[in-house]
Amino acid sequence: MEKDFSRRSFIKGMAVGTMAGYFGAAGLSSTVFKSQLLPKEKLNPVDIGQVKSLKIKVISETSWYDNNVFLNDVKKAGGLLVNQYEIPWTREGVKAGYLGDNLGGFSTYIEAELMDGKVIKILQDTGWNPHWMDKRFKEEGIAEKLARKEIDFQVITHEHIDHFFGIESTTRHYPDIPMYVPKGFYQDGFDLLKGKSFPKANVKNDHPHKGKVTVLDSKQVNVLYPGIALMTFDVPIILRVFGEQAFVFNVKDKGIVLVTGCCHQGIISYMEEVRKKILGGQKIYAVQGGLHISPFEDWDPQYDDLIMAFNKYGVQKIGCNHCTGFITAEKMIKAGLPVVKGTARHMSKRDIYLGNGDELVIA
């Protein structure tokens, strides 16, 4: 049979070849040539300066007392995507709770001594249940410090119920306290600051905030004082919250100390960002705060990945608590990670990690 050049055959061949070429190039680029084709990241670490020492006091890390009650509230409302301002949180009849109330809250008090000897006093977060937070603020002397305006500023790490809904416990003493919130705060959050109530969620603020509120942007290192910085992460969070910020301290002769609220961005990602963006970030000495791994004592193999990877970062002290979860703490200890023990006082359930009233000093 005579073979004629057929334009039709050529075009058909081109069609097949184009698809094969496209998918073949895709397949080869993403496997064999991947390392050559992936762009290298340009690093420009920021020198945030240093502090002499750091004292971190856990005012409250018990955000709620009965996991089942909390989860039932969430489940009845429709799951973890529901807006936290619309969930009817159970406030009474809870045996394990504070006077029957399931709600507690998270807050930390930090004293950072600058190189010139001045001590910067920071209140991180403001808890959930104002009755509980008032009690703890009084017991730890925070109420007095607030009333005397001794606290330099407050940082709200993220808009979650247990870090922010107890705002009137701060503002009743110090209504114009300078405040830092992360990018991603919803209008509801700003409204609550200004005194709006949300009766469905049983939250109110009878002491509107009158001071300056600074929204800190992500993708940059926000240096507040030499040795004290905040980083905001664009992270989608459960219960219709977005964005979390966390502290980076650089303690002389020790290294970087990270202090978080919940670390929803993930502790590994946080450490990786610090390594890339902070001068000296390769040496992370300590981590303190909630790490949000198994707060409901649930699990996911991803968390085992986390524990197995954690060892590589050379952290000397892990002052985790709150939403880290007991299962996580037990697994971390078993994996040989240096989890700091607590004293299980003031309604903290176990001494496996830092509890209410416990302190971590880095000097």
Partner 1 sequence: MEEDVKEVKKEKGWGSGILVGLLVGIVLFMLTYQLLLMAK
Partner 2 sequence: MSANALDTLWLEERSLTNLIKQPAIRGILDTLLAFAVFMGLWWVFMDPRGVLRWYTPQYGYMYIRWLLIVAIWQAYIFNFWPFKLTWMEKTHPLKKGLILIAINFVVTGLLVWVFYYNIFGRLAIPYFSWPELKKTGLSDFFSREYSSLAILMMAAIASWLSPIWPAAFENYPWHNLKQPAKGFTVFAVTFLLTTYAYLIFMHPHYRVLFYPWQEYTAAFPWWYDSFHTLSGNFNVGWIMCATVSVWLLETIMERYPFRLVKSQPWRGLTGFAFILLLAWILFFTFTFMQDMVWGPSVEGAKRLMAPDWRYLHNGELAVILLTVALALYFYFDNWPRKFSTEVNLLIRVAITIIGAWGIHWLYYKYSPQLLGTQSGYSHPQQFPMAPVILFINVMLYHNWFMDGWPGKRIKQDLKVA
Cβ nearer to partner 2, comparing 60 with 260: 260
Cβ nearer to partner 2, comparing 40 with 117: 40
Binding site for partner 2 (CB under 8 A): 8, 11-13, 15-16, 18-19, 23, 26-27, 29-31, 34, 37-39, 41, 67-68, 71-72, 74-75, 77-83, 234-238, 240, 242, 264-266, 268-269, 272, 296-302, 304-310, 327, 331
| DSSP letter (8 states) at residue 311 | G
Binding site for partner 1 (CB under 8 A): 1, 3-26, 29, 37, 39
Strand 241-251 with 255-259, pairing: antiparallel
Give the bridge partners for 119, in sequence order.
113
- Answer with the entry of partner 2, partner 1, none that 38 interacts with (C-beta below 5 to 8 A by kind): partner 2
Cβ nearer to partner 2, comparing 80 with 223: 80
- Answer with the entry of partner 1, partner 2, none that 224 interacts with (C-beta below 5 to 8 A by kind): none
Q: How far is the CB of 28 from partner 1 (least distance, A)?
A: 9
- Answer with the entry of partner 2, partner 1, none that 220 interacts with (C-beta below 5 to 8 A by kind): none
Cβ nearer to partner 1, comparing 15 with 335: 15
Cβ nearer to partner 1, comparing 17 with 78: 17
Residue with tokens 């664009």: 234
Q: How far is the CB of 19 from partner 1 (least distance, A)?
A: 7
Q: How far is the CB of 15 from partner 2 (least distance, A)?
A: 4
Q: How far is the CB of 37 from partner 1 (least distance, A)?
A: 7
Q: How far is the CB of 341 from partner 2 (least distance, A)?
A: 20
- Answer with the entry of partner 2, partner 1, none that 68 interacts with (C-beta below 5 to 8 A by kind): partner 2
In this structure, the dihedral spanned by the alpha carbons of residues 227, 233, 238 and 241, taken in order and rounded to 10 degrees, is 90
Q: Which amino acid is at 188?
A: D
Sign of CA dihedral 180, 186, 188, 191: positive
Q: Cα separation of 331 and 240, whole Å?
A: 30
Q: How far is the CB of 355 from partner 2 (least distance, A)?
A: 21
Cβ nearer to partner 2, comparing 32 with 115: 32
Q: Cα separation of 274 and 266, whole Å?
A: 12
Q: Which amino acid is at 314?
A: G
Q: How far is the CB of 328 from partner 2 (least distance, A)?
A: 10
- Answer with the entry of partner 2, partner 1, none that 44 interacts with (C-beta below 5 to 8 A by kind): none
Name 177's Cβ contacts closer than 8 Å, sequence gap at least 6: 123, 146, 149, 151, 153, 154, 170, 171, 209, 211
Q: Cα separation of 261 and 201, whole Å?
A: 21
> Read out DSSP for 208-266?
---S-EEEEPBSSEEEEETTEEEEEEEEEETTTEEEEEEEEEEETTTEEEEE-SS-TT-
- In Å, what is the CA distance from 234 to each residue of 48, 101, 216, 241? 21, 32, 11, 11
